[in-house]
Amino acid sequence: MERKSTEGFGMSFLSMLVFVLVASAATDTITPSRSIIDRETLVSSDETFELGFFSPGSSTKRYLGIWYKVSPETVVWIANREAPLLDRFGVLNVTKEGTIILLQEKTKIIWSSSRIRTPENPVMQLLDSGNLIVKDGNGSGSANFLWQSFDYPCDTLLPMMKLGKNFITGMNWSLSSWKSPNDPAPGQFLALIDPKGFPQLVVRNGSGILYRGGSWNGERFTGTPDLKQIESANLFKFEFELNRNEVYYKGEPYPALISRLSVNQSGFLERYVRTKQSELWMEIYSAPRDECDYYAVCGAYASCNTNNPAELCACLAGFEPKYPTEWDRLKWSGGCIRMTTPACQDSVFTKHNGLKLPDTSNSSFFKNMSLKECQVECSKNCSCTAYANSDIRNGGMGCLLWFGDLIDMRIYIDGRLVVRKNSSKNKEVAIIVIPIAIIGLVWGGIVLYLRWKKHTKQGGENDMELPVFDLGTIVKATDNFSDNNKLGQGGFGPVYKGTLREGQEIAVKRLSKSSGQGSEEFKNEVGLIAKLQHRNLVRLLGCSVQGDEKMLIYEYMPNKSLDYFIFDQTKGKILDWRRRMHIIDGIARGLLYLHQDSRLRIIHRDLKASNVLLDNDMCPKISDFGMARTIWGDQTEANTNKVVGTYGYMPPEYAVDGLFSIKSDVFSFGVLVLEIISGKKNRGFFHPEHSHNLVGHAWKLLMQEKPLQFVDCNLGDCFVLCEVIRCIHVGLLCVQKRPEDRPNMSSVVLMLGSENPLPQPKQPGFFTERNLPESESYSSTHHELASVNGVTISCLEAR
């Protein structure tokens, strides 16, 4: 947060001295007799929160906001989100009538608060909770509040703030994302408690739903099982209230922690915590987490399961795909329909355990009804499609009834839904049906297995589960692949920026006709990335296949790739330590998803700085899956006679023997961490005192207890020493020579976010890469190409 001098005010030395003395005596209140101008702040009594003027990102506009005093870049509330000040002459007052006003040049009102009555002695105060209030100084307690910022959330929910709705006053407590890092005005994503039917947590993207956290089941939202683990780990306590006057959700961390929940500019709900002694935020929850978290990905009457490598979506018992041909092509959004339409009197109910309850906006609920009574109630109404307990505590109580389609379900550890289906009328029918059903199940299993084998073997054009863009649309979007729109060139081919008719910006990766391996890489990338959904993976929007033209269409990343910043002495200044730490953590979480949490366990094999893209928020997204490989079940490694990847990021066992595993990516991640901290490339690194590469240099300095000499000079002294040393330490653990000595990515994420002691790293692999016997392993042509240009190698024979 900028704190500049008071030039332009023409203040005398004496008045300047008075200003400094007043500013240094931090206060948490002002009255009508005092104003706050730019460069002055209010500080809560426990010094957790600070209120003042700031400019977001690279913007020069000024906003009145509240942030954490030790983390000023973390802004939690803004008064004038849609009405910025155009200069540094803003003034904040509280009037005698109890209204907060924000003035431009002391006369023009830019923003003001509301009030419910006129106080005798109005006081504005910044509380230790982060709540900015106006109260009557003659009274005490929350009932004396005339206005509070907690009633007007921005993108962040603090402890004791409500998310929900007051049915009496109409007050709606919701979170809205920023438009961009430079513009805090309300963006396209809105997190709220939707009160329709049985209230539930949703994140809206415009008028549609991006993600549904589900309804409250007495312990947590049905779509967020992780909340139970968070609460049981003594990180947070949750509260949900539903009565005739209001519905709301709020949380409270345990005393030693500080917490916040926010919706970011990509629509992700994120919860962060940190100890009061630490400046490091730790992300403990983020959603959507995977492809099954996106709303209605499987359509109606189907459940989503990321643990099933053959089929993401499956119809509920008694239902079949609505569009079988599309279903065979792994396009599930059409959902399922009943195999037969039952007569109301003939229907029976089937239990489905371990299921996220469907969208409750078309449901009814009864608070004091048992599950047995709930079944009776559903049976009496032929429009009732399913029922469940609304509260799972104490053996289950409360009744939820669904009317209409059942949408947005996924496989979870707990949760039980009972669905109406048709029944057989007599035993004779049952005797015939049961053997046929068994034969059908066996045959269906064979068909599914063969279909799965077909998809995993072929991965070709006919198996794409992506939107297909017309070639003419892409030509128009890129201005006929104009050189002015060219973003870069890779081994696959050129990449262009494009703009679709509706204004959406895209990146188009065009397969080079002269690329010998491009077609296989194209199929591989489509087959893999189309199935992946994570905030730290670049999102594939579609493809275009027409004649010889093969193209992949991605979300556009306005901040290009990581190497564009970290290896440039000027642009590197943009990446302060907090951003670098955020990037390291994001890459780690993206790899963890690939290795462990995704439906397909994936080894990237070409992780490097140029394959990490940065979005508007400088959030890292791993890209380029053309070289990636899938591993199945308990498989942890594989062997190849062709080594692909980039010199400087390859581990020894892969570069020399062609043996790759998830630990290959861990090695590449370790190199990348050291590059991010130092601002230097591993390949081509030179030091006048030794012949080590960057990895060897880092190890040498850590052993000599001189880690600060490794830090990028662009950071100056603006970094957290213990975090820097820890990241160097973790990076060196990742580049150990033996794969078994390297941690897996789940351990890496934990090590980065904790303060526990770390094991001592051994001498890393490729400690001095220049000593590698190049002639024994690689052709000199390929070696020269890789070392000079850092281009991905895709056809090197291993020994």
Go through 258-292 and write b for each residue having 16 or more CB atoms within 10 A of its CB, e for each that does not: bbbbbbbbbbbbbbbbbeeebebbbebbbbbbbbb
Q: Do residues 687 and 722 make contact, with C-beta atoms less than 8 angstroms apart?
A: no
Beta bridge partner(s), residue 732 = none
CA distance 251 to 658: 50
3-state secondary structure 418-463: EEEECCCCCHHHHHHHHHHHHHHHHHHHHHHHHHHHHHHHHCCHHH
Distance from C-alpha of 252 to C-alpha of 258, rounded to nearest angstrom: 9
- Kindly give the pairing relationship between strand 172-173 and strand 282-287: unpaired
Which residue in this structure is represented by tokens 């993206």?
A: 590
Indicate left, alpha or beta for 101 from its phi (over 0: left) and psi (-120 to 50: alpha): beta
Closest to 735 measured CA to CA, from 679, 627, 652: 652
Q: Is 606 labeled as catalytic in the residue annotation?
A: yes
Give one DSSP letter per residue of 50-63, joined into a string: EEEEE--TT---BE
Q: How far apart are CA 293 and CA 597, in angstroms?
A: 13
CA separation for the pair 694, 696 (Å, rounded): 5
Could you give the CA distance from residue 743 to residue 731 in angstroms, rounded to a whole number?
A: 10
Half-sphere exposure of 741 (CA within 13 A, CB side): 17
Q: Omega of the bond prior to 288 within 30 degrees of 0, cis?
A: yes
Tell me the residue ranges of DSSP E strands in 19-104.
Answer: 29-30, 36-37, 42-43, 49-54, 63-68, 71-78, 90-94, 100-104
Task: List the strands of the sheet with 269-275, edge to edge.
Answer: 156-157, 257-263, 269-275, 282-287
Those residues with Cβ within 8 angstroms of residue 142's Cβ, 6 or more apart along the chain or in another chain: none
Cα–Cα nearest to 64, from 43, 24, 91, 45 = 91
Identify any residues that bridge with 271 across adjacent strands, giving them in sequence order. Answer: 261, 285
CA distance 650 to 94: 62
Q: Which listed residue (606, 624, 665, 712) is catalytic?
A: 606
Sign, Cα dihedral of 528, 532, 536, 537: positive
Strands 637-639 and 659-661: antiparallel
- Distant-in-sequence contacts of 709-717, Cβ < 8 A, 24+ apart: 710/674, 710/677, 710/678, 711/677, 711/678, 712/566, 712/572, 712/677, 712/678, 712/679, 712/680, 713/679, 714/569, 714/572, 714/573, 714/575, 714/679, 715/576, 715/577, 715/580
Q: Indicate which residues carry an active-site annotation.
A: 606
